[in-house]
Chain A
Amino acid sequence: DIQMTQSPSTLSASVGDRVTMTCRASQRISNWLAWYQQKPGKAPKLLIYEASSLESGVPSRFSGSGSGTEFTLTITSLQPDDSATYYCQQYNSYSPTFGQGTKVEIK
């Protein structure tokens, strides 16, 4: 299976900050990568697909980049509502796998 590694595990930032988190794949996955936001007690919400395409209805402050094995999710101006855990997921193979998550906290 393809392993997905996210960093950092937790990050703390202030409202208005630019925030970046990373996801690395154990082998090349082209651009078959998605990002999700999950709040406590809720189902994940799709934010980004194909590494950089914004899902309909998702605020434009979220953006994704990368290809191959290294990917980033950026929030350009952090909002209080962005406090959540963010997961990456590869869908290059028949066994989709998720990263372990990055928890974003608001200072």
Chain B
Amino acid sequence: EVQLLESGGGLVQPGGSLRLSCGVSGGTFNNYVIAWVRQAPGKGLEWVSTINTGGDSTHYADSVKGRFTISRDNSKNTLYLQMNSLRAEDTAVYYCAKEGHSSGDCGNFDYWGQGTLVTVSS
């Protein structure tokens, strides 16, 4: 079974940076489209970014475009999210999630990590 495990969350000041990691085990990582989805405290789910299997195609939500960068290392079965210029509104639990069934443009998410909390506060 596919398992995802996020790390790297924590407390950061506004304007600061943080890099999240997501280790994936089970199955063939190279074949997976992977995304980051976040959830602010007490709020709903918000898609953040998606990366294709080869790492050469990425998509971002408007709210993070230009500040966040998604990447992957297929040799390490690991996904990353580099977050710069962090704002209070970026405070959330960040989940990595594997894409399941796709429409061709994007997909739903059939496996999720347990999440890592990012708090942006002075």
- A residues touching B (Cβ–Cβ < 8 Å)? 1, 30, 32, 34, 36, 38, 42-46, 49-50, 53, 55, 87, 89, 91-101
Contact = CB atoms under 8 A, between A and B. Distances in A.
Main secondary structure of the interface of A (DSSP, over half): loop
Given A44-B112, A93-B105, A101-B45, 9 more contacts: A1-B62, A36-B45, A46-B108, A49-B100, A53-B101, A89-B108, A91-B106, A95-B59, A95-B62
Contact of B105 (A42, A55, A94, A99): A94
Nearest to B4: A43
A95 B44 contact: no
Contacts of B101: 34, 49-50, 53
Most buried by B among A36, A53, A91: A91
Contacts of B110: 46, 49, 55
A43 B95 CA distance: 8
Most buried by B among A44, A97, A99: A44
B108 A34 contact: yes
A98 B109 contact: no
B45 A94 contact: no
B88 interface: no
Contacts of B108: 34, 46, 49, 89, 91, 96
17 contacts: A32-B103, A36-B109, A43-B112, A43-B113, A44-B45, A46-B108, A49-B110, A53-B101, A92-B103, A94-B105, A94-B106, A95-B59, A95-B61, A95-B62, A96-B35, A97-B47, A101-B44
A87 B45 contact: yes
B112 A87 contact: no
B112 A91 contact: no
Contacts of A99: 44
Contact of A89 (B45, B95, B112): B45
Interface in B22-66: 35, 44-47, 50, 59, 61-62
Nearest to B46: A98
